[in-house]
Amino acid sequence: MAQNAEQGEPLCPKCMNWDPRPEEGYGPRVAYCTARDIVTSYWYKCEYYEEVTADKRVARNKSIYGEFREEGSEE
């Protein structure tokens, strides 16, 4: 089984498409895997699956990149 180089854990075969960049869009079938801290296109909802919402995406990006202004935001 493939290994996640940073975490040394086996990658789960249930979610084969994933991307470590949380700023990527969200939509149908896009989720965070809280176990492996990845953005995944899921095909299976396990206990580590967390649906991506606009609020969660902004909060997650802020936690990684700090404060920034979203395009089209006021101020």
Residues near ligand SF4 (CB under 6 A) are 12, 14-15, 33, 35-36, 40, 42, 44, 46, 48-49
Q: Which amino acid is residue 47, in one-letter code?
A: E
CB of 17 to ligand SF4, least distance (A): 10
Q: Contact at 8 Å (CB) between 62 and 51?
A: no
Shortest separation between residue 54's beta carbon and ligand SF4, angstroms: 20
Dist CA 30 CA 43 (whole Å): 10
Q: How far is the CB of 49 from ligand SF4 (least distance, A)?
A: 4
